[in-house]
Amino acid sequence: MNLSLVIPIYNEEESLPLLFDAIHNALDSLSRTWEVILVDDGSRDKSLDVLRDLAKKDPKHIRVVAFRRNFGQTAAIAAGIDHAKGEIIVLLDADLQNDPADIPMMLDKLDEGYDVVSGWRINRQDTYITRTLPSNLANGLISRVTGVELHDYGCTLKAYRREVLTGFRLYGEMHRFIPVFAHAVGAKIVEVPVHHHARQFGEAKYGLERTFKVLLDLFTVKFLLSYSSKPIYLFGGTGIGIIALSAALLIFLAIRRLFYGISVFSSPLFPISAMFFIMGFQSILMGLIAELQVRTYHESQHKPTYTLRETINIE
């Protein structure tokens, strides 16, 4: 199998037949073997019935994975990837906002040697204030924090070489960070403009609150990327910083006592300094506990702390 499309679906009954036609139009002329993994994320409308019909109509290409309840877009994408057989995996939304006609162009980019081709909705057709603007701000922030510069993390339409999708699991709303995880295992990433259409059927499943979830996820991602194999550097570093602050306060109090005779213990700065000392000490202890967890994490799952490109003369 050469190509797997993975599509998360939650209440998209009207869009699905049109999506099916659009996919055939885009892929039939390619000389690749392909499949579509449609993941029904516990839809409450007739989406699953429509999927059953489509699967009957085209058993060669259509595969369906159905959740028992709504687990969210990220879980749906993860399940789709788990069931995909292709060497190339393309993710896209079911609501026809992404255009399957862009896929052949993205595959050409992969053939040029890239591992990730990231869609960028240059003419995004969503409400500006609640969707596009927060998303633009988030993209800038994510690019800065992770060092992976992309204009459109939120665009689901992206193509991946399978190898760069192994070695990490997706939690929360983290599907948008897949390029960051891929970059961490050494993937070459390129960005391409893709079409974007206004939603024709059904309704958008998210509102402004998603921005906050994305921000919180960004903390986790940054931590995992930078410190997951050496948490003591973060916790211990913070701890040492806070203890230094505590020491600076004490020195200040001592100097004041020596030269001006002002009592150390009567100053509110004294208990503050003591508090800083305890906080710093605890932060270092937390770092040690995290170090234990890192060892459990890597060693219980036989997860190496590195990724290989290739080996030569090694059995």
List contacts with ligand UDP (CB under 6 A).
Answer: 8-10, 12, 41, 70, 72-73, 76, 93-95, 97, 154, 204-206
8 interacts with, out of Mg ion, ligand UDP, none, CB within 5 to 8 A per kind: ligand UDP
Residue 296's region, left for phi above 0, alpha for psi from -120 to 50, else beta, is alpha
**Burial of 308: CB neighbours in 10 Å, binned 0-12, 13-18, 19+:** exposed
CA 274 to chain CA centroid, Å, is 40
Would you say 76 or 184 has its CB closer to ligand UDP?
Answer: 76
Which residues inside 94-113 make contact with Mg ion, applying CB under 5 A?
A: 95, 97
Q: Which two tokens stand for residue 49?
A: 């019935």
Would you say 206 or 223 has its CB closer to ligand UDP?
Answer: 206
CB of 211 to ligand UDP, least distance (A): 11
Would you say 35 or 41 has its CB closer to ligand UDP?
Answer: 41
The window from 45-53, 92-100, 136-144, 234-242 that contacts Mg ion (CB under 5 A) reads 92-100
132 interacts with, out of Mg ion, ligand UDP, none, CB within 5 to 8 A per kind: none
- Inter-helix orientation angle 15-27/47-57, to 10°: 30
CB of 81 to Mg ion, least distance (A): 19
Would you say 8 or 134 has its CB closer to ligand UDP?
Answer: 8
255 interacts with, out of ligand UDP, Mg ion, none, CB within 5 to 8 A per kind: none
- Which one, of 287, 161, 302, lies nearest residue 228 by Cα? 287
Q: How far apart are CA 195 and CA 92, in angstroms?
A: 12
73 interacts with, out of Mg ion, ligand UDP, none, CB within 5 to 8 A per kind: ligand UDP
Q: How far apart are CA 226 and CA 218, in angstroms?
A: 12
Q: Which two tokens stand for residue 260?
A: 């001006």
The window from 66-74, 87-95, 115-123, 161-169 that contacts Mg ion (CB under 5 A) reads 87-95
Q: Which two tokens stand for residue 125?
A: 């057709």
Would you say 44 or 197 has its CB closer to Mg ion?
Answer: 197
Would you say 98 or 283 has its CB closer to Mg ion?
Answer: 98
- Do 280 and 140 contact (CB within 8 A), yes or no? no
Would you say 171 or 206 has its CB closer to ligand UDP?
Answer: 206
- Which one, of 181, 197, 196, 210, lies nearest residue 119 by Cα? 196
CB of 28 to ligand UDP, least distance (A): 22
CB of 84 to ligand UDP, least distance (A): 16
Q: How far apart are CA 115 and CA 189, in angstroms?
A: 6
Q: How far apart are CA 236 and CA 189, in angstroms?
A: 34
- Do 269 and 253 contact (CB within 8 A), yes or no? yes
Residues that bind Mg ion (CB under 5 A): 93, 95, 97
